[in-house]
Structure 1
Amino acid sequence: MLQIETWKRVLIILIVLGGLAMAMPNAFYTRVETHNDAIKAIEKGGTGDGLAEQVGMWPTWLPSSLVNLGLDLRGGAQLLAEVQVEDVYKARMKSMWPEIRDMLREERATIGTIRLQDSDDDALRVRISNADQVDEAAALVRGLARPVASLSGAGQSDIDVTTQGDMIVVQLSEAEKLATDDRTVRQALEIVRSRIDEVGTREPTIQRQGDQRILIQVPGIGSAAELKRIIGTTAQLTFNAVVSRTENANENPGPGEELLPAKDQEGLYYVLDSAPVVTGEDLVDAQPSFDQNGRPAVTFRFDPTGARRFGDYTAENIGKPFAIVLDNEVISAPTIQAHIAGGSGIITGNFTLEESTELAVLLRAGALPASLDFLEERTIGPELGADSIEAGKIACIVAGIAVLAFMFASYGLFGVFANVALMVNVGLIFGLLSMIGATLTLPGIAGIVLTIGMAVDANVLIFERIREELRNGKGPARAIELGYEKALSAIVDANITTILTALILYAVGSGPVRGFAITLGVGIVTSVFAAIYVTRLIVVFWFERRRPKTLEI
């Protein structure tokens, strides 16, 4: 008998109403977006007079999730950056020198004096005066090796130590380089994401491409130059011991030392110990502030490890200067007046309020582990996005009208039922995309248009099966029931193969391809639900009310 249990009817109706309610905010996109932005501003401590009015633009008891518009629809900026992983090799070698130096100094009676030699960025060369003991010295250095922290490098050491005459050569092993490359790109990706999130941009797309590249797409931002300004600064903060100061820009620093300019004092340079006392990686917080003279500054706080190192250094070097270095410029070189305990301090300089706020954001987000080389820059104006949205609307309307007309002409009243289910299906697509926070791109619109054309396939199979059962002499109720039962296997088979294609596109593709795959996959799920359950419920309601003796499909 053609019937649907009451609990199933209620569940279907609730799903439809819930999906349409989730989709409704997209019909009032600007108002809801302003409402959401105002709520976020209030949560961050904003107190502007217009915020309350903006919050009132949309009822708080209604859903307010939106389908995010992608770069090609909203306009914005895109960058393709390559992470310069070689910078990390250089930093690793530089950080190893103090440990190697201190260890070999303890064996000076045997191996003689040691001296750091000029070498490539990815290597460390140490010359010892007693060449006969070079193998023993190399063995000591090998004792500093650690296991590679990756599955592919399991059981291998992180450094290779060789000898060349009276010289010890230390390099990262190939396994460690591979592990470092992967770790560096992952860390850079997360730091870029956190920096962009800090400035409140809307739904950026930040993803890895290949081994060493990162694709960054930020809708709504003014230009690629503005985006580069946000993420292009490495914000490498270090605290280094000062060896001397000079006005000679061509002075050659000694081994283990570096010459850096003073940021706001033209012609002044500092010779620093290249191994920092503490770095920005030890920071746990940084906030814009003001110094004792009311000038913009940045306060900072170290984690326990950094606080201990910083405190020990200041206790042992009272009366000596130390340098605060930001991106290879000495922004301040104060003299240590007393032991600085507690792990907190303040960075002063000739900052504007905007510069101190931006510096605090960069430090709080963390230092990029390596510099970024921007291979591609692209700015997309909002006018192009508006044209794309308008073209997408026209495509959806034309496709929808064509499908509605075809179904009505082919199946009459049952075609009307299918058309109602089709409109419900489009609403469910937007409701589901809003619920999962998906980003809609131009290829995504193409996926929706394709879904509109495919959505009635299931209804066509069902209606043709009903026609066949009627021709075989079945009654109206039995024909409808058998039509849905016998068409189900073909519907499931066709849509499973399509959704597998969508999953493969999502897994293998990137950017626009993924946007198309998401909307196609969501559309398949909602169209099957609409065809099998929504149209059947409409048919059952109609049949129970009319009780027809014959069917005309």
Structure 2
Amino acid sequence: MKEKTYTTLDFVLLAALFVFGIVFALPTFYGEDPAIQILSQESNKDSLLNQASNLLKQAEIPYQSSRIDNQTVKIVFNSVEEQLTAKQLLDKSFDKDTIVALNAAEKTPKWLTAVGAEPMKLGLDLKGGVHFLLKVDVPSAINNRLNNQFKSLIMELDQAGTNYQVIQKPEDHRFIIEFAQSDAWKNLQKSINRLLPELKYESKSSTLVSFETDPRAVEQTTDYTLDQTIQILNNRINELGVAEAVIQRQGSHNISVDLPGIQDTAKAKELLGSNASLRFQMVDTQNEPTYGIPNTSIIQYLNTPVLIKDEVILSGESITYASAQLQDMKPSVHIRLGGGGENIFFKRTSQNVNQPMATIFIEKKPKEMEVDGELIKQWVLKEEIINIATINEPLAHSFQITGLRSMEYAEKLAQLLRSGSLATPFEIVEETTIGPSLGRANINKGIQSLMIGSALVVVFMLAYYRLFGLVANIALVLNIFLIIALLSMLKATLTLAGIAGIVLTVGMAVDANVLINERIREELRRGLSPLASINAGYDRAFSTIVDANITTLIVAGILFLLGSGTVKGFAVTLIIGVLASMVTAIFVTRILIYLIYVKAYGTKTPKTLSIGV
């Protein structure tokens, strides 16, 4: 059998694997120090830092360092106990608008961060924090979309002077309108199709028309609502500087939210924000604000009733960016659109130049009510006008909200608009809090299990396969470093299930070397020379190792695609571990054996192999 040879490129690649694995895994081993992050709307962060430092000194709570990091105050402590004591003190000392969150400070040296090496993110079960499962009211989003289409259609019919009668209001994705003349609807079809393309219709008779939302649009609305809610929650958390939050879709109507380092569920709910959204509607200036006027409603603004037209000419999800500015030395908010609905907005504002437009803040909260002796949950709606501004010109893809009472108010409004308004409310159906002490205990147990498992494998391989066992152990250590390095680079979140995946991979990694070593022993017993036995052992075990690992990858892939949360985390770790073990067991160990038995011997041929019994 032809002897396997290696080029300089192979040795460079081997060295690169070791360097990559060690460099990108090292930050994880440096660990983190417990810290506290203080989030506040106060612009003077230095004053906030001094206030917090003085409070800790007065209470004789020691800390390592304090600094301003990304517009938030961060204080680093020596132990979790000091961190928790400090949090309790600062929670009591600061007002309710200041959020004191548990956090961590990385101890990674600057030379590692300079090359892009970062520690692995830890899940809630390892770091501590708050987990929420949110149930999104998707049917409400679908009904809202149909209601908006209904109101826009009614407005078009009124402006065209069409005689009609609403037979069925929006219900079960449908509404029905009867026209006085048979040709009335035909004359409006082209303009309605252009204005409301997702509204499908079916003529029941020459005058009776049934309107409904396209089923594909309903499915798109469901996906969009969940994706948009995830994006909005991400934006809100990012605006407040909370790091390493994990927000992902779970099932058809649910969203999972993990907030590492947060322990106070009330504060966590405040971070997520209320079920709030924004919409823009015209103010009716031609009638007195009294109840009973068709297609209008009354909302209070600065303790004064204001008559608002029902049609929503723009909703908050259409806004893609907002920034607070000074316009003629007066606070204002500049807005850019791009989320849809610009056509109707341009048309309505063109028709209402020099007329007042209201920006309305809507909040929905679930409330238990007793109906027929049973407790049911219903959404309670709260509407508040936060601004009324005059339209100076037709508005399309960008405009300004003026007449705001202060620059601070403008900045808060811009932040809300920038982070986005929820397309539909959500309800928290599950919440779990994991303390940092429990998280640290889980880390210790996970590391302990990995160390014990690895140590037993190392001892067995050394005792049973001697030098070949030592080579397998070197590959095993490299395998663990590669797994950690790849998880860090992919910014994957490590959980207890992930640690279980690494422990499982340790056993699977040496399994390939066991197959190779046993093959080499068989070839030696058949009378082949040591070098021929090495080549034959690796070559004949190769297909078996690949087949076994491919079947494992298939199962892990199915777990990743169909699983969620910890199951998906386990699958990711297992996939990376299997791929890394194939590289280390087949490529790395063979080069090391080649260096020992070929390069070291030079022109001489080894008589025996140190491969055990």
Normalised-by-shorter TM-score class:
0.7 to 0.9
- Report if aligned partners of 2:319, 2:418 keep a CA contact under 8 Å in 1: yes
Per-residue deviation, residues 164-211 of structure 1 (Å, max 9, x unmatched): 999865443544433322332233233333333333333333222222
Structure with greater proportional helix content: 1
1:515 aligns with 2:573: no
Work out the CA distance in 2 between the residues paired with 1:247 and 1:75.
56
Which amino acid is the alignment partner of residue 123 of structure 2? Answer: G
What secondary structure, in the 3-state scheme, does the structure 2 residue paired with 1:392 have?
helix
| TM-score, length-scaled by structure 2 | 0.73
Once the two structures are TM-superposed, the CA of residue 279 in structure 1 deviates from its matched residue by: 3.6
Question: Which shifted more, 341-350 or 479-488?
Answer: 341-350
Once the two structures are TM-superposed, the CA of residue 517 in structure 1 deviates from its matched residue by: 0.6
Out of 235, 252, 258, the position equivalent to 2:297 is 258
* Structure 2 match to 1:331: 386
For residues 172-183 of structure 1, the aligned pairs below 5 Å read 172-183=213-224
- Report if aligned partners of 1:83, 1:212 keep a CA contact under 8 Å in 2: yes
Once the two structures are TM-superposed, the CA of residue 518 in structure 1 deviates from its matched residue by: 0.8
* Structure 2 match to 1:382: 436
- Report if aligned partners of 2:323, 2:411 keep a CA contact under 8 Å in 1: yes
Once the two structures are TM-superposed, the CA of residue 312 in structure 1 deviates from its matched residue by: 7.6
- Report if aligned partners of 1:32, 1:64 keep a CA contact under 8 Å in 2: no
Work out the CA distance in 2 between the residues paired with 1:22 and 1:187.
34
Which amino acid is the alignment partner of residue 252 of structure 2? Answer: D
Q: Structure 1 residues 292 and 403 mapped into 2: Cα distance closer, same or farther (>3 Å)?
A: same
Per-residue deviation, residues 34-63 of structure 1 (Å, max 9, x unmatched): 9xxxxxx9996899999xx99995225444
Which amino acid is the alignment partner of residue 503 of structure 2? Answer: V
Out of 498, 521, 531, the position equivalent to 1:444 is 498
Per-residue deviation, residues 83-127 of structure 1 (Å, max 9, x unmatched): 22233323432344244443365354xxx4667986658555657
* Structure 1 match to 2:279: 238
Structure with greater proportional strand content: 2
Which amino acid is the alignment partner of residue 254 of structure 1? Answer: I
- Report if aligned partners of 1:160, 1:173 keep a CA contact under 8 Å in 2: no
For residues 360-379 of structure 1, the aligned pairs below 5 Å read 360-379=414-433
For residues 202-281 of structure 1, the aligned pairs below 5 Å read 202-243=243-284, 252-262=291-301, 265=303, 268-281=304-317
Which amino acid is the alignment partner of residue 532 of structure 1? Answer: I
Once the two structures are TM-superposed, the CA of residue 23 in structure 1 deviates from its matched residue by: 0.9
Once the two structures are TM-superposed, the CA of residue 338 in structure 1 deviates from its matched residue by: 5.5
* Structure 2 match to 1:84: 137
1:551 aligns with 2:609: yes
* Structure 1 match to 2:88: none
What secondary structure, in the 3-state scheme, does the structure 2 residue paired with 1:369 have?
coil
Which amino acid is the alignment partner of residue 255 of structure 2? Answer: I
Q: Which runs of 5+ in 1 are unaligned?
A: 35-40, 150-155
Work out the CA distance in 2 between the residues paired with 1:123 and 1:257.
22
Per-residue deviation, residues 482-535 of structure 1 (Å, max 9, x unmatched): 111111111111111111111111111111111001111111111111111222
- Report if aligned partners of 2:276, 2:425 keep a CA contact under 8 Å in 1: no
Which amino acid is the alignment partner of residue 384 of structure 2? Answer: E
Out of 25, 28, 39, the position equivalent to 2:27 is 25
Work out the CA distance in 2 between the residues paired with 1:61 and 1:55.
14
- Report if aligned partners of 1:117, 1:255 keep a CA contact under 8 Å in 2: no
Query: Identity rate of aligned residues, in percent?
Result: 32
Question: Which shifted more, 449-458 or 474-483?
Answer: 474-483
- Report if aligned partners of 1:332, 1:349 keep a CA contact under 8 Å in 2: no
Which amino acid is the alignment partner of residue 456 of structure 1? Answer: V
Out of 400, 404, 411, the position equivalent to 1:348 is 404
Work out the CA distance in 2 between the residues paired with 1:84 and 1:381.
30
Question: Which shifted more, 300-309 or 373-382?
Answer: 300-309
For residues 473-512 of structure 1, the aligned pairs below 5 Å read 473-512=527-566
Work out the CA distance in 2 between the residues paired with 1:488 and 1:363.
58
Per-residue deviation, residues 238-278 of structure 1 (Å, max 9, x unmatched): 33222369999xx644332223333x53xx43321011344
Work out the CA distance in 1 between the residues paired with 2:347 and 2:126.
52
Question: Which shifted more, 496-505 or 276-285?
Answer: 276-285
Work out the CA distance in 2 between the residues paired with 1:307 and 1:104.
19
| TM-score, length-scaled by structure 1 | 0.81
- Pairs aligned (count): 520
Work out the CA distance in 1 between the residues paired with 2:170 and 2:12.
75
Once the two structures are TM-superposed, the CA of residue 329 in structure 1 deviates from its matched residue by: 0.9
What secondary structure, in the 3-state scheme, does the structure 2 residue paired with 1:348 have?
coil
* Structure 2 match to 1:283: 319
Once the two structures are TM-superposed, the CA of residue 455 in structure 1 deviates from its matched residue by: 1.1
What secondary structure, in the 3-state scheme, does the structure 2 residue paired with 1:367 have?
coil
Work out the CA distance in 2 between the residues paired with 1:33 and 1:491.
46
Once the two structures are TM-superposed, the CA of residue 136 in structure 1 deviates from its matched residue by: 4.6
Work out the CA distance in 1 between the residues paired with 2:129 and 2:497.
17
Work out the CA distance in 1 between the residues paired with 2:71 and 2:516.
56
- Report if aligned partners of 2:28, 2:119 keep a CA contact under 8 Å in 1: yes
Work out the CA distance in 2 between the residues paired with 1:270 and 1:117.
29
* Structure 1 match to 2:40: none
Q: Structure 1 residues 388 and 483 mapped into 2: Cα distance closer, same or farther (>3 Å)?
A: same
- Report if aligned partners of 1:232, 1:372 keep a CA contact under 8 Å in 2: no
- Report if aligned partners of 2:32, 2:106 keep a CA contact under 8 Å in 1: no
Work out the CA distance in 1 between the residues paired with 2:160 and 2:321.
38
